Amino acid sequence: MIEQPDINQPILVVEDETDTADLVKLILQEKGYQVVHAADGQDALNKIASMPPPSLVLLDIQLPLVDGITILETIRATPDWQHLPVVLLTAVVDPRCIRQAVAIKVQDYILKPFTRDDLVRCVERTLTPLARP
């Protein structure tokens, strides 16, 4: 049986643009979510190795040090993390890159720039199935 993530766990936001990360954190905290931020790919790898699984990962593709696809592959290869929902939060519109991410089982993606409503709807839509028995 696949163990579903605890939706009371924080959301991990992997985003190198400070303004975007701060905005995402503000929007999600206003909705009652806890947020953990990783500022680059290496920081994300460190968090995957050291923290309990979050309820959701919002992941940028273009990151310094380690790219988002590598982070996604690491998540899928990490036993406690492998079934977590991952949503891309990206400015990348290259269909090849999006297809690659979908093949590695990303649940959804949000294109930058995004609206507050788009972000909240996507997070709630992604987490809601996990709350059902």
Determine the structural domain holding residue 116 and report its residue range. 11-128
Burial of 51 (0-12, 13-18, 19+ CB in 10 A): middle
Question: Does 35 reside within a domain?
Answer: yes
pLDDT recorded at residue 106: 85
pLDDT recorded at residue 1: 37
Report the distance separating Cα 96 and Cα 132, nearest Å: 33
Report the distance separating Cα 99 and Cα 42, nearest Å: 24
Tokens, residue 70: 């590598």
Question: Does 1 reside within a domain?
Answer: no
Question: What CATH number does the domain containing 39 carry?
Answer: 3.40.50.2300
Q: Is 90 exceeded by the pLDDT of residue 97?
A: no
Q: What is the tens place of the pLDDT at every residue in 22-72?
A: 999 999 999 999 999 999 999 999 999 999 999 999 999 889 999 998 999
Query: pLDDT band for position 95 (50/70/90)?
Result: confident
Question: Does 59 reside within a domain?
Answer: yes
Question: Does 84 reside within a domain?
Answer: yes
Residue 117: what are its φ and ψ, rounded to 5°? -65, -40
Question: Does 4 reside within a domain?
Answer: no
Lowest-pLDDT range of 52-56, 101-105, 106-110, 124-128: 101-105
Q: How many domains, in total, are found in the chain? A: 1
